Amino acid sequence: ELKGSQVNSVIYEYYQRKIETKTKKQALGAVMNKLLRIIFSVLKSKQSFRLITPEQQVEMYQKILQKAA
């Protein structure tokens, strides 16, 4: 357990998936890229960050597609 740090479970699971097929540096690079995309999206949309799981994101996307159809 790391003391004095917070763990984002979604990002940690993403890192764990990446480390199965990549080196540690490559996995960390992928995590950094994901975090930068999140930060840029928050700044661009001017909306606060909401932590959602990949499953919740798929569900939200399917609802958007249904509305468009």
Q: Residues of the chain with pLDDT > 70: what percent?
A: 91
Q: How far is CA 37 from the centre of its chain?
A: 9
Task: Decide if pLDDT at 2 tops 60.
Answer: no
For residue 1, the model assigns a pLDDT of: 53
Residue type, 15: Y
d(CA 15, CA 27): 6
Task: Decide if pLDDT at 59 tops 70.
Answer: yes
Greater confidence, 31 or 69?
Answer: 31
Task: Decide if pLDDT at 4 tops 70.
Answer: no
